[in-house]
């Protein structure tokens, strides 16, 4: 079916892992026309040079200076932390119908002091934070279409919030002594992985890091408080594992008095009954990330332990899709009132 009046979009930061997945999915979306693909290097090259999956004829890679912002409906920002806020600040007020979906951390943290502490630089667009909206679609409590800047959540925080928020809202689990253990494929660290981590044999071994000050801790903290109105006490232990994509998060919780694993599972089933991308497995189901790779799905399993009121909640997502590009397109669909699952 031929669809007229497609939304015109640009992808800024086209050649990173999330940028390429974003372009691949967008290239098949029936309601989108890709006008610009921008990067700082490899100008003039075809995007298929970087990702052979992309078969559609698309604009060649160009400088952001070449973009006609007034000719666009939406800009996807797949840039290093700190870059999106500078660009948005330049063009936000000059193009009042233009919308942005930011896949970096630039608009995730509402408190600029906490942002500076975790990202080691001052926010360059403080006055625009109030105009932004942090969006995990399944957990939103406001209409996304009321905002021009959409902050796409981090991959680890997505895998954590989807199973926990409904359980806290129903007061089913205790708010203290929670351990969150997340294992991610190495694509989560980006293309400059070896510059960030000096660990030997990084691509063929497991690596634990940043248990005290991982940048996603403040995001999880903020959003759990915002969505549940409760202070949640947790530790967070991230790992990189020798696989390219996928996250498996294990969350160790204690139930409130009289609550069972079936109570937890039924609460999640009820909460997500209208959510196409959330799959709640049978009680005590084993879970890996394999089922969700290259999808926008999140699979969740509630598992009993040998201790009566202690449970492990497993959550699996693809860090590049539900944890980044797929969720960004899900947010775009809601922003323009397309079917939420379209193109996914």
Structure tokens belonging to residue 158: 């997505």
How far is it, in rounded angstroms, from Cα 259 to Cα 244? 38
* From 38, 155, 218, 298, the catalytic residue: 155
Q: Residue 133: what are its φ and ψ, rounded to 5°?
A: -140, 120
Contact indicator for 81, 152 with CB cutoff of 8 Å: no
Q: Find the Cα–Cα–Cα–Cα dihedral 203, 329, 275, 314, rounded to 10°.
A: 10
Contact indicator for 299, 287 with CB cutoff of 8 Å: yes
Helix (H) or strand (E) holding 301: strand 298-304
Q: Respond yes or no: is residue 155 known to be catalytic.
A: yes
Could you give the residue numbers annotated as active site? 155
């Amino acid at each position: 079916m031929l669809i007229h009046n497609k939304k015109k979009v640009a992808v800024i930061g086209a050649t990173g892992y999330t940028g390429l997945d974003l372009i691949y999915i967008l290239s098949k979306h029936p309601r989108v026309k890709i006008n610009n693909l921008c990067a700082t290097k490899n100008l003039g090259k075809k995007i298929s040079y970087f990702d052979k999956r992309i078969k559609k004829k698309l604009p060649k890679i160009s400088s952001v200076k070449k973009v006609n912002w007034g000719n666009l409906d939406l800009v996807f920002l797949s840039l290093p932390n700190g870059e999106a806020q500078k660009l948005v600040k330049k063009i936000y007020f000059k193009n009042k119908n233009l919308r942005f979906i930011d896949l970096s951390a630039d608009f995730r943290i509402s408190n600029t002091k906490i942002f500076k502490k975790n990202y080691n630089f001052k926010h360059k667009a403080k006055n625009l934070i109030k105009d932004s909206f942090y969006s995990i679609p399944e957990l939103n409590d406001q209409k996304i279409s009321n905002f021009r800047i959409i902050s796409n959540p981090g991959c680890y925080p997505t895998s954590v919030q989807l199973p926990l928020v409904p359980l806290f809202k129903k007061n089913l689990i205790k708010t203290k002594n929670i351990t969150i253990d997340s294992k991610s494929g190495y694509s989560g660290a980006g293309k400059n992985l070896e510059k960030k981590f000096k660990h030997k044999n990084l691509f063929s071994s497991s690596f634990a890091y940043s248990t005290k000050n991982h940048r996603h801790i403040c995001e999880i903290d903020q959003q759990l408080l915002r969505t549940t109105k409760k202070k949640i006490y947790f530790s967070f232990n991230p790992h990189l594992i020798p696989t390219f994509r996928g996250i498996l998060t294990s969350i160790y919780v204690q139930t409130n008095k009289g609550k069972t694993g079936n109570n937890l599972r039924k609460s999640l089933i009820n909460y997500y009954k209208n959510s196409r991308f959330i799959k709640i497995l049978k009680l005590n189901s084993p879970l890996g990330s394999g089922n969700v790779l290259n999808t926008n799905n999140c699979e969740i399993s509630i598992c009993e332990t040998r201790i009566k009121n202690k449970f492990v909640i497993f959550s699996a997502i693809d860090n590049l899709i539900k944890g980044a590009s797929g969720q960004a397109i899900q947010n775009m669909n809601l922003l323009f009132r397309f079917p939420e699952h379209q193109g996914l």
